[in-house]
Amino acid sequence: MSKRLFVIFCIVAAVCVVVIPFAVISDSSGVEDGRVAVAERDEGTKELFQANCGTCHTLAAAGTDGVVGPDLDDRLAPGGNGDYEGNYARVLTAVVCGFGNGRMPARILTGENAKEVAAFVAAYAGQLGDGDGPLVDTSTARKPAPGSCGSSAGADEGDQQTN
């Protein structure tokens, strides 16, 4: 093998081994790239969502990229399947009652934590990249009661029954 051919081979190998992976990593197109403005009052709830829901669900405002549950930005986008109050009730019911015959277990969060996360998801779902913040003020928005879990309902109770 000639010296010139060897040098060309080394340059091509260096590009393949170093430059291409670096370019891919630095130009990631994941959820964390979308900078959705989260109101300061919602930062704690964002962390609550990340800890309890983020491993399963994708939500750009929370910076999560879940792999098991549905992408909440797609499923609950404004103008898609409902409005804030409808999405709030839908999320709260899923969190309190569970969903899909155990695929999402009941009582992941309860009480005020369940209400706060439902309000956060309903206010921020569907905002991808450079979002302007929540659709509503989560501190003053109306929070409807959750749907029925069978024989018992209510996000304030920690002992809901599921069917």
Q: Where are the domains of the chain?
A: 1-31, 34-158
**Tokens at 40, concatenated:** 């300061």
Cα–Cα distance measured from residue 42 to residue 19, given in angstroms and rounded to the nearest whole number: 39
Contact at 8 Å (CB) between 138 and 45?
A: yes
Q: Which residue has the higher pLDDT, 151 or 16?
A: 16
Q: What is the pLDDT of residues 18-71, one digit of tens each?
A: 766 666 555 444 444 557 889 999 999 999 999 999 999 999 999 999 989 999
Rg value, the chain, Cα:
22
Residue 54: CB partners within 8 Å, gap ≥ 6?
62, 63, 64, 66
- Listed range (38-42, 77-81, 149-153) with the worst mean pLDDT: 149-153
Highest mean pLDDT among 73-87, 100-114, 119-133: 100-114
| 76: number of Cβ within 10 Å | 24
Residues 55, 42 contacting (CB under 8 angstroms): no
At residue 23, the pLDDT reads 61
pLDDT digits (tens, 9 = 90+) for 85-113: 889 999 999 999 998 888 899 999 999 99
**The CATH classification of domain 34-158, taken from the options 3.90.480.20, 1.10.760.10, 3.40.50.970, 3.30.10.20:** 1.10.760.10
Residue type, 55: T
Is the pTM higher than 0.85?
no
Has residue 14 got a pLDDT over 50?
yes
**Percent of the chain whose pLDDT exceeds 70:** 75
Q: What is the pLDDT of residue 137?
A: 87
Comparing CA positions, the residue from 145, 77, 74, 69 lying closest to residue 100 is: 69
